Amino acid sequence: MALNATKVGHYKKRTLVNGVDSVITVWRYQVSGSEKELSEFEETQGDNHRVDQETGKPLWFTTRFVGPSTTLTITENGKVVADNSSLEEIASMVEQYGEATARLYLSMNSKA
């Protein structure tokens, strides 16, 4: 199962993080997929299922930026997770070769 998620915004939220009052960023993504996929997404989200009031499309929220768009998967354990592979590739390049080399590689291989 693969749902598509497109970033539609973000907001700040005050919450406790490890017992400390903190302000975190919550990223909001609009979810699309087949009728069956969206039904399974709604069931998996349960009480956390939210729908954009303007578009009627389901929303997915995360405290980790996963890019302007991503693919979502529902795991066997009933969790909705994003495909972070492209961001993980960049992080790995920075870790292995440093930021300058990663920037050079990305600029040489960008689709733009």
Digit-coded pLDDT (tens) for 54-80: 999 999 999 999 989 999 999 999 999
> Residue 1: which pLDDT band, with cuts at 50, 70 and 90?
low
pLDDT at 43 over 60: yes
Task: Round to whole Å and give the CA distance between 59 and 86.
Answer: 22
Please state the pTM of the whole predicted model. 0.77
Cα dihedral 40, 44, 46, 48 sign: negative
Q: What is the mean pLDDT of residues 17-24?
A: 94
pLDDT at 90 over 90: no
List of residues 6+ apart from 32 with CB closer than 8 A? 3, 4, 5, 6, 38, 57
Retrieve residue 69's tokens: 């768009």
The single residue listed with the structure tokens 């389901």 is 58
| CB of 13 closer than 8 Å to CB of 24 | yes
> Residue 50: which pLDDT band, with cuts at 50, 70 and 90?
very high
Percent of the chain topping pLDDT 70: 97
